[in-house]
Chain A
Amino acid sequence: MNRAFASFLVLVGFLVLVLGGCASQAEKPEVAEGPATGPTGSYGADTAGVQRESYADRPWDDPSSPLYRKVIYFDYDSSEIRSEFVPVLQTHAGYLASHPRTRVTLEGHTDERGSREYNLALGDERAQTVQRFFLAEGVRSDQLTTLSFGEEKPAAPEHGEGAWSQNRRVELAY
């Protein structure tokens, strides 16, 4: 990490303190009860299309920031962090360690092969592996939440190794 970037991070940290992590607030789902058609859950996490003049308060959305890379990929039926992704995670760990009020959700995903509940567990293992890495790098546990979607939310919907390799992943959701 170079000097200019370090001072940039200090500035970002200040802004994060001021703005108080409002970006990670989740909207409450609507849950209704009733026969047959029953409850529905709606969730609005869609932040795409929101124009920002500056990324100062969310450097992870800045394409020129090393924090912009927020997805790491896994081998089939494995929750081991591949060596090529260690620097990516170290960059995020360094940022989180120096910004203790910034919180991130580690979302584990799998490809579609095999059984769904096993994949839900595998996604959980992947998220927990990244969590353990961050804790070892000095991130505080209250900054981290793990979440598994198993194979339920593929990044690529096709059937084949091309799509599968993109779906075996942990996403960092700030």
Chain B
Amino acid sequence: MQRVTVPLLMLLVAWVGQTQAQLTIEVTGGVEGAQPIAVVPFGAAEGAIPPLDVGSVIAADLARSGRFRPMPTRDMLATPHTAAEVDLRDWRLLGMQHLAVGNVSPVGGGFNIDYVLLDVFSGDQLLGSSAKTTGPGMRYTAHRIADVIYEKLTGQPGVFSTRIAYVTDQGSGGRVTLRVSDADGYGAQTIVSSSEPIMSPAWSPDGQHLAYVSFENRRAAIYVQDLGSGRRDLVASHPGINGSPAFSPDGRLLAMTLSKGGNPDIYVLDVASRELRQVTDHLGIDTEPAWSPDGASIVFTSNRGGSPQVYKVSAAGGPAERVTFENDYNAAPAFSPDGRSLALVTRVNGQFRIGLLKLGGGGSMRIMSSGTLDESPSFAPNGSMIIYATQHNGRGVLAATSVDGRVSQRLSQDSGEVREPAWSPLVH
């Protein structure tokens, strides 16, 4: 093992040096009821110098989910890398329910990762697979393996290989930057940067494009940018505001808010034909459209009743129906991936918090956050977590909370504000 450790450390240092301003994740709340699991540091075959330990990335992912409590490496009695090397008694003794081991070997110019997941009590092999990858791709591959393990053990797709878009602001005349990082905060990349505001990043369902609002021409305009090539299109630049872009579930339509008609209303743009259709027409503010997962309806914020509340309208237009009745401020709705709940910004006793409202049951709203200026809720694509913007020590940071309330995390940068998180779809 000594042979691997030294170059591994050097490579880790180089990696950290390259990714400045990455998000740091701290788990801030509870792992009660988390399942014990052991993820042994992965082995490296002769000739393989992996740039990172796949096992550590998997263990960190599982820990962050709040559903698992990976065993500290130092407590392990053995470090097997294949099923044949495992003595189940070692792990039963330590109270582990599951055990994951793996090995990295060189293949061509890249690597092959073999891994197995074992049920410690029955001895059953729950997973046994391999994945080809490259040095630079190894972190992503590790997240994918964590996704597979998570799904095997919980029945719910993992989202460790997804990404998060967010806006950073260096403050007082500094630059505003739209970034995308891995879901664990690593590998932050700049998508666009400006001395003027950037707002409202929204993912396309294929995870290849981001729509956003930029004031770079001194007024709000909506752009759609291809993340692979960097190429972007200006899709809305009407008089007044051009805001709140939201891709339809099939990716063909972009809902948005335009005030070219004299007040903010919801419109839908056909991305290919550029045909624009008005969906709401009301004298008050209509904004923040969000598509239902089936694409049939759009929820949005309107002050037509005097205070901001959430309404629902058919995507084809027509009369709007009020959805929220609790609290005097409800805005920025986001659909859960199953379409059964809405996360939103709500005001409780003068504090702006994230609320979770079950639709159609007449149930009451659950308050999911505890800040005073919380905003911008976005669901993880498996529906397990909600990420949102909050303040910590007077500074803008991101927070994520599991929908079951068991785990919470804080994501911050060493300097400047972070806000407007948007969780990417699942794309494999």
B200 interfacial contact with A, CB 8 Å: yes
With contact pairs A116-B375, A117-B288, A124-B259 given, residues A43 and B216 touching in the complex (Cβ less than 8 Å): yes
Q: Are B197 and A117 in contact (CB under 8 A)?
A: no
A121 touches B259 (CB 8 A): yes
Q: How far is the CB of B184 from chain A (nearest CB, A)?
A: 19
| A53-86 to B contact mask, C-beta < 8 Å, 1/0 | 0000000000000000000000001000000000
Main secondary structure of the interface of A (DSSP, over half): loop
Interface residues on B, range: 35 or more
CA A43 to CA B195, docked complex, whole Å: 7
- The reply to whether B232 and A159 contact each other, CB–CB distance below 8 Å, is no
Q: A43-B195, A128-B262, A152-B199 are in contact. Are A115 and B331 (CB under 8 A)?
A: yes
Instruction: Kindly identify, within residues 193 to 210 of chain B, every residue whose CB is under 8 Å from any CB belonging to chain A.
Output: 193-197, 199-200
Partner of A118, one of B225, B232, B301: B301
Query: Which residue in A36, A120, A128, A147 is a CB contact (below 8 Å) of B243?
Result: A120
CB pair B240 A146 closer than 8 Å: yes
CA distance A42 to B217 in the complex (A): 8
The CA of A122 and the CA of B264, in the complex, are separated in Å by: 9
* Chain A interface residue count, Cβ-Cβ cutoff 8 angstroms: 38
The answer to whether B65 has its CB under 8 Å from any CB of chain A is no
One digit per residue, 1 when the CB lies within 8 angstroms of any chain A CB and 0 when it does not, for chain B 211-226 equals 0011111111000010
User: Of A33, A121, A146, A149, which is in contact with the most chain B CB atoms at under 10 Å from its CB?
Assistant: A121
Q: How far is the CA of A98 from the CA of B172 in the complex (A)?
A: 37
A125 contacts partner chain B, Cβ-Cβ < 8 Å? yes
| Interface residues in A109-141 (C-beta closer than 8 Å to B) | 112-118, 120-122, 124-125, 128
Q: Chain B interface (Cβ within 8 Å of chain A)? A: 171-172, 189-197, 199-200, 213-220, 225, 228-232, 239-241, 243-244, 257, 259, 262-264, 285-288, 301, 303, 307-308, 329, 331-332, 345, 347, 352, 372-373, 375-376, 391, 394, 419-420
Which of B264, B347, B372, B373 makes the CB contact (< 8 A) with A121?
B264
Residues of A within 8 A of B301 (CB): 115, 117-118
Q: How far is the CA of A128 from the CA of B259 in the complex (A)?
A: 10
| Chain B residues with CB under 8 A of A34 | 230
Chain A residues with CB below 8 A from B420, complex form: 116
| List of B residues within 8 angstroms of A114 by Cβ | 308, 329, 331, 345, 347, 352, 375
